[in-house]
Amino acid sequence: ALLENNSLSDHARMVVLSSVWQSLSRTNKFSYSVSKSAIEGLVNSFIADYSPRGYSMNAVLPGVVDTPMTRSILTDEQIKKIEHETPAGKLVLASHVAKAVSWLASPESLGVNGQFIRVDNGWSQIRAI
């Protein structure tokens, strides 16, 4: 409705949250992975249609974030495995994700449009053997 009525300010910047799972797969996560993959289409279609109006959209793709929910779902052994497989050796903090969103929503990120920013300490790029 905001887009159809031109209710957004000039140069509006939108940020959506997805997950590194939009481009990775694992068993028993079919619906989750598909829903996250749809966000890629949303961002790409948005910039094709609305960038000429001065709007931008980017996505933040968190990895495994150290939250109470993560700690309740994953075992200590699973968390240690993820930390071992992460180049930085630790889980991402929620504040790291928030700072990425804040930067993308700010005028400081002008020129950044249609990007998918992974906030995962390198976990989705490199795996330890």
Range of the domain at 109: 13-119
Let me know if residue 127 belongs to a domain: no
Let me know if residue 110 belongs to a domain: yes
- CA angle (121, 35, 41) in 5-degree steps: 85
Would the pLDDT of 122 be above 70? yes
Let me know if residue 125 belongs to a domain: no
Let me know if residue 89 belongs to a domain: yes
Choosing from 32, 38, 87, 98, the catalytic residue is 32
Q: pLDDT by residue (tens digit) across 12-58?
A: 899 999 999 888 877 887 888 888 889 999 999 999 999 998 899 99
* CA–CA separation, 63 and 100 (whole Å): 13
Q: pLDDT by residue (tens digit) across 82-111?
A: 999 999 999 999 999 999 999 999 999 999
Let me know if residue 2 belongs to a domain: no
How many structural domains comprise the chain?
A: 1
Instruction: Check if 32 is active-site.
Output: yes
